Amino acid sequence: VKVEQGTVCGVKEILPDGGVFHAFRGIPYAKPPMGELRFRAPQPLERFSYPVLDCSKERDVSFSRNMFTQELEGSEDCLHLNVYTPAQDPDRPDPSRLPVMVFIHGGAFMFGSGNSDCYSPEYLLQEGVVVVTLNYRLGSLGFLHLPSQGIEGNAGLKDQLLALKWVHQNIAQFGGNPTNVTLFGESAGAASVHLHLLSPVSQPYFHKAICQSGVSVMEWVMQRDSVERTRTLARLLDPEAKTDEQVYRTLMAANHVELMGLMVSTLSADEKRRGLPMPFKPVVEESVGPDTIVAVHPIVAMQQPDRLPEIPIMMGNNNGEGIIMMLDASKKLDLYDNDMARMVPRSVNVAPESPACEQLGNEIKQFYFGTNGVNEATVNQLADLMTDYHFGILANTCAELHARYQHRSPMFFYDFSYDGELNMYKRLLQLKIPGACHADELSYLFKMRLADFDVGQDTPAGRVRRTMCRLWTNFAKYGNPTPAIDDRLACRWEPVDKIDARAPADAFQLKYLDIGAELKMGVNPAKERIDFWRGVYRKWNETFLKVKL
């Protein structure tokens, strides 16, 4: 296939239904961000290094530690993407171009890649779409911030945007429609999608958005004290790095292994205590230029009426997101039992370590655990608290802000509750708490090649996978996951009703699709728990929507 930068040569593979697809893996979409380009916005690649580039196998991922093996992997030369496209029947060539789905992987902005060990898109391809997965710079290499030295921050987000521009420029050659691109992502990838959705520089390059278990207003997304963190990292390498120029030179000279290895040492005691061990991540950029993605804080942006164009969005959470936090939390139940104030969100306007904060901690403990406290018998309740603290509360805030202020953008909300054979993260991490864990929905969209596990299409899990792929690709095709044209889905997914920005607090109702063994519509997921938090924010912040930055 001929693209702007040269010619790529891919491979033919077989789909589970017997059809054929073409895979073009490891396509470079930018100059390697090394040497003088380290930490900076990516530069477009003019030409490949060979006239015909072998894209039969994946190239390096962003340098990081593999979540499953704990081995170091990848390099700084990581800006590659993968294009997968269903083969056209030569006897019946289809003149219409296919919808394109571009996926941004999660991994706390610290690990992961777009590669097929976790994200092989055969089941999506069977629904008639082109899928693109990509790598972007992670950790300090992707999110260091030192504006005095020209490092504006968000290099990893700018990588994603350059990949979107590459898709816009080249995807027609692969049978994809550049005027129908859906940007979707999970966790940190979903928060990235949401930041692009709020960004006027990114908006022209996609037409629909899906945020799975992550939006930009969640507490774990935006970096605090980013410049001070950069200086701390440099001084861990060289205590003599006093001025910003010395800090910059130290970081430019450092080995990438050291840069990534020392990241966690920049975390504050409060970040560690709260279980938010994500040091380098997006920032609000100080100077606004043509490639500035985050010019204002997302909470502020969400309250600007009609900041979003007519881009429909699907967003939602899994009902047991917090189960993944129990890997760590289950080892320190007594710490949570004795210090519940660590679970007071930073977005609540109460001074940390104050008597009021301790009192609120006790109220949280009473609500979730009653008189039992935190112990082996109440780990399910602790998982619920983790779900709400990290995901649930601010997903509700985001949905309500969207309904009140973003009237041009239709929103479909979901709660994924299916707990079955393809809940691969729960399976691989051997977690036994009931519910759908963080990232568990991914294996109902993608094949996880590293797990070497599959189910038949007519098993309960196989049917949920077929339904999920249908909902997601319908949305990519039509901007509606259950269009009238598709009579094979048993339930109509209704969008969230828009309300006036000034409507009273109880005017907002969060309509959602419960994705379980069957599909059903509901209102206000985890209502009792979210109502408790609405009360907390009313007391301390005046309203649920006034989030302390």
Catalytic residues: 187, 321
Tokens representing 410 are 């239709």
Q: Report how far Cα 96 is from the mean position of its chain's Cα atoms.
A: 31
Q: What are the C-alpha distances in Å from 84 to residues 109, 162, 285, 412, 518?
A: 24, 18, 34, 27, 30
**What Rg value do the Cα atoms of the chain yield, rounded?**
23
Distance CA(255)–CA(262), nearest Å, equals 11
| CB-based burial, 244-260: b 16+ in 10 Å, e otherwise | beebbebbeebebeebb
Tokens representing 132 are 């693109």
Distance CA(17)–CA(486), nearest Å, equals 20
Determine contact, residues 490/464, Cβ cutoff 8 Å.
Answer: no
Measured over the CA atoms of residue 304, residue 309, residue 310 and residue 312, the dihedral's sign is negative
Report the DSSP beta bridge partners of residue 27.
81
Q: Are strands 20-28 and 80-86 parallel, antiparallel or unpaired?
A: antiparallel
DSSP string of 300-337, one letter each residue: HHHTSTT-S-S--EEEEEETBGGGGGHHHHGGGHHHHH
Determine contact, residues 485/478, Cβ cutoff 8 Å.
Answer: yes
* Coarse DSSP helix, strand, coil percentages of the chain, rounded to the nearest 5 percent: 40, 15, 45
Q: Which long-range contacts (CB under 8 A, 24 or more apart) does 488-496 make?
A: 489/519, 490/518, 490/519, 491/518, 491/519, 491/520, 491/521, 492/521, 493/412, 493/414, 493/519, 493/521, 494/521, 495/410, 495/411, 495/412, 496/399, 496/402, 496/403, 496/411, 496/412, 496/413
Q: What are the C-alpha distances in Å from 514 to residues 416, 433, 453, 521, 529?
A: 6, 19, 26, 6, 17
- For tokens 């970096």, what's the residue? 223
Backbone angles phi, psi at 292, to 5 degrees: -75, 120
Q: How many CB atoms lie within 10 A of CB 271?
A: 18
Cβ neighbours of residue 323 under 8 Å, at least 6 residues apart? 383, 386, 387, 426, 431, 433, 435, 437, 438
Q: Among residues 32, 263, 39, which one has the least CA distance to residue 147?
A: 39
Distance CA(58)–CA(511), nearest Å, equals 41
